[in-house]
């Protein structure tokens, strides 16, 4: 492996790392936008819940009921359901945000590993000539190449 091959390998891996950093930066911006939108949606849902509970309370009071017993349970239930909705909105936004970051990390790491592997194999291949590779297939289903032995399926005619 010559100095040119090493330099090209380093350049390829470096470019892949820079590309991975850019992917992570874009994913972080997207994940932050999703989290912010989730917070806005949760605030909107909390306001809707407060308005709904206020309407229920007003309806009970206008019909001459006191806010004890069942009417109070209905208002409390309205708040409980609204709180569950708010928590679900926040949880969903956080999950989507984390998934985006996880996918970006996996993609960046996969691209980097592919770049390293590709550069390594292309560098290795430059020092091997066709005459250097030997293949011996034994009738027992054992194959050997360059000193490495492994089992192979038996092939008719070999």
pLDDT of amino acid 151 = 44
Low-confidence ranges of the chain (pLDDT < 70): 1-2, 5, 118-158
Query: Would you call 150 helix, strand, or coil by DSSP?
Result: strand
Tell me the sheet residues that pair with 145. Answer: 148
Pairing of strands 148-151, 142-145: antiparallel
pLDDT of amino acid 140 = 46
Asked if residues 31 and 97 have their Cβ atoms less than 8 Å apart, the reply is yes
From the list 156, 125, 121, 149, the residue with the least C-alpha distance to 135 is: 149
pLDDT of amino acid 6 = 72
pLDDT of amino acid 51 = 95
From the list 86, 81, 76, the residue with the least C-alpha distance to 46 is: 86
0.85 exceeded by pTM: no
pLDDT of amino acid 115 = 74
pLDDT of amino acid 95 = 93
pLDDT of amino acid 3 = 77
Q: Where are the domains of the chain?
A: 3-151
């Amino acid at each position: 492996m010559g100095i040119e091959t090493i330099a090209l390998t380093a350049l390829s891996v470096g470019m892949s790392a820079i590309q991975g950093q850019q992917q992570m930066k874009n994913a972080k911006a997207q994940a932050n936008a999703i989290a912010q939108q989730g917070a806005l949606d949760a605030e909107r849902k909390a306001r809707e819940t407060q308005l709904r509970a206020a309407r229920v309370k007003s309806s009970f009071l206008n019909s001459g009921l006191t806010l004890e017993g069942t009417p109070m349970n209905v208002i409390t239930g309205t708040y409980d359901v609204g709180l569950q909705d708010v928590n679900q909105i926040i949880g969903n936004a956080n999950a989507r945000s984390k998934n985006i970051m996880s996918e970006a990390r996996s993609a960046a790491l996969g691209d980097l590993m592919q770049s390293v592997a590709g550069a390594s194999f292309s560098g290795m291949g430059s020092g091997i000539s066709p005459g250097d590779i030997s293949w011996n297939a034994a009738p027992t289903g054992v194959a050997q190449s360059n000193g490495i032995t492994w089992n192979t399926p038996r092939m008719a005619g070999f």
